Structure 1
Amino acid sequence: MKKVVFIFLFVFMLIAVVFAVDPTMVKVGLSNTSGGGGDGSIKPGQTVYVRAEGNGGNGTLQAAIHDDGASTNNKLYISYYSDSPPSSYLAYDELNASGFSVDGDTLTYQFIMPTNVSGSQSIQIYFGLIGQSVPPPFPPTTYYGDRAYTYSGINNAPTNYDAYLTYTEDSSTEAPTLDLPTASATIGKNFTVKYDQPETAYEGTVKISFARTGGSVDNNSPHVLEVLSEASGTDISISFDGAELDGASEVILDSGGNALVDDAEYTVKIEYQDLAQNAAASDQNSGVDYDDDDLIEASGGDYNSGVSFSPGSKNNAYFRLYLKKTAGGTAATVDKITFDTTGETVDADIDTLKIWRSTDNSFSSSTDTKLVNVTSNFDPVTFDFSPDQQIGTDGYYYFLTIDVNSGASTVHSIGATVNLKTDIVASTSIIGTFPIEGGNHPLPVILSSFNAQIINDMPVLTWITQSETENSYWNVYRSISQNLGQAVKLNEAIIPGAGTTSEPKEYNYVDEHDVIVNNSYWYWIESVDYSGGNEIYGPACLTIPQAENPSPPTVPETYGLMQNFPNPFNPDTDIIFNIEKTTSSGELAIYNIKGQKVKTLYKGNIKGKILYKYVWDGKNEAGKNVSSGIYLCKLSAGDKTYIKKMILTK
């Protein structure tokens, strides 16, 4: 809706009335403006609509004047007062078409000051509505403006006064957008209509309709419902029961039957008129199937977002699919599910793809049920269930996992997508928003070793990568404790990386900074890619020996869970760990201070003497941000447990 600019060429504060030669509604918004010769103002945010019809220059000013839902027989008046706020009026006049003239987009209203106004009086002029077709003997009851105009020193002669304004015609209603249900979707007994409405609607004009276009016969079609709210907005959602459409509190039944018909096909439409009562605008989606049988609703997406999987690792969960029946009764069955494999992965990168069933949204290879293994034909990959999966109203979570081949390319990644509802073969119809897409999980850079030792009385760091992806350069950090937050960068010049390579690469760095005999130092290395993203590895610990001892010292290895960095953190933090012996029962999880699990970051096989890094983004399993406070990071690796305290700030 366009705003209107008021132009005052004479000493008068004009009223918000609009005239047009076309039979359309024109909107004029009142705004803060000083009155001519006075200090009055019109209240901001008020709007008056006036329908003007006729072919002549002036036409006929109709009585269809309304404000915020007032009755259509209201008429607009001008009143004159000698005090403010008004208590007794001197005169009032009904505005009429004969006082208007139009030149392009400029409207002129001519009036005559009442003859009973004395030359010495200070006059306040108000504009307002009277809710009757015939003016009663009292001033307007709804005012537009406080002391809209002040004029002093009036001569009693009936002088003509002119007021001018420019206006913009509002000739159309901005079109809404119907988001749900989508075209060709299947909706069940309980479904949602979601839409965007860009303008506030005229009262009673927002309508949602269901018009039968195919399938079962529906003698009560179309089903039209009036939305009770006229407010504009995006993602306006209304939940419906197909057996009782007006059961939704946001609507009332306008016409047609109150129930949709099973197996009928409908066109769903949203429409409304704007406040100016321009022609209704609408949007619709066709081919919507209504099925009130036992439907299966599918949803899901990426799992372990951003987590990478090491070559040789097993049971890495990367996609989660949730299936549930929409109504009670006999369970529905699922025969098979087909996933498109995304990312750059090739068959040689994969040993096995598996699908698991879980009663909750967190994957655990030790407690969840493994259903099917696939060892070939990975794109697309089809899991054929035997026996068929029984789906009830509580539903099940299905997880895809990958066993990564030990020789997998570390420049590849893997993800999954369920593209179509027909990719889920079941005993009943599938509903949901498709495609259901997951993210891609990289098969990461493998840092096969990172050591610190004394060579020629100098601390020397050595690290070897098995592959690198867009690795621009390295930095080296040192601290006198295991706390990465206390570390300082040692290298003044960057240490160039190898870019992208699948070949092993060895690096060396000599620490020429001062050290103290018998003190221990912790070292970290940081890789930075071409886009500025970074990975931190370490620490490696080194105790400085006596200078007279030429033999290399024993370099203590640091195992377990390192302190997260940064700490405190917001919004995310890096978590690094390294265990001595390989275990198949590893878990990295976040707990709150009450000991309640907040999120599982990893669960499965952990290789010994390999640095692992995970990022926690401060969200729980449901993907929602958790509150600030103290959290515990717990690493369980075989018979060993490590815990670090973390602080999330906001």
Structure 2
Amino acid sequence: MKSFVMLLLLLCLATWGFSQSKGGRWEFENNGDDTAAWDLADNPGALQNQAGYADLPPLQQGSAYLWLDTTSTHNFLKVEDSDDLDFDDENVGISAWIYPVVLNDVHYLVNKGEQSKNPKTTNYSLRIAMNSNQLEFLIRDANNQAQVVASSFTITENTWNFVAAYYDFSAGKVYMWNDPAQPPVDTLNFNQSLFGNSEPLAIGSWYRDDPANPSIKDFKGRMDDVRISGRMEDIIPSASGLERPDELIPGTFSLHQNYPNPFNPATRIAFDIEKAARVRLTVYNLAGQEVAMLVDQYLTPGRYQAGFDAGSLVSGVYFYRLSNGADQQTRKMLLVR
């Protein structure tokens, strides 16, 4: 009976620690697999024309990346339409690492829709603007007009750039990043409806249903770790193993007791964020020395969990501190070998 209760508890904890969103993640480890842990369906992509995978340095994430040749056209990764990739009047975010070799036009990074239809369709898109090289987030409205917001920062050729845009539909804001470890560079007003469509998702171009010219405004260079989700924490890379167990929006800033406690060697720490901010969760020893940085990133309001593995530490009392720049809380935990 005791073992059954323990099993039930573990199952409940596992369920509490897992939640889903729409979207996908493509890491291009010599394949077009959707590796997202948060999405509801598998959305693999297929290479088009001369698109391929490459591993020449410098690498950004993993052991390979998507290579879109600068000497040919219509190179992109095509992901077939899925309800899991359509967003209708809800939050949506896109991020990627990009290494542009040529910036001489509008270059589409991610686009859900088709250019050759009338009216054209774009559920959501991330692209590089012509001449200014700014990052742009856009949709097409009910009148077939592109609605665009642009970053204050620019994209640089021949180096890896992080790019991200998150549309908080309920707040009417688009946040834009060029560094995953920092708060968004831009917070822009944007009040537009999102219209799902039955068209493919194109990574590295804007898809056209025309075999002779299957894409337009292609990106030239390398792309890696492309992410799409309705949750901000899914699109901003983090080494923390951060999870959001539910969609609860707490009313207070709060740090919870870790579980299990005492622990050996791993435990989990839950915390609540009531307003968007750059958040840090840090572990210290009794001497006040920092031994681990579990979270250091910009988060939207919600309840989160972070894992802590103390496999390299000695037994004893440790403290963990949550801070957001304005408030902080500290708790104690016990590692027992």
TM-score relative to the length of structure 2: 0.35
Q: Which of 1 and 2 has higher RCO (CA within 8 Å, sep 6+)?
A: 2
TM-score relative to the length of structure 1: 0.19
Bigger helix fraction: 2
Bigger strand fraction: 1
Larger Rg: 1
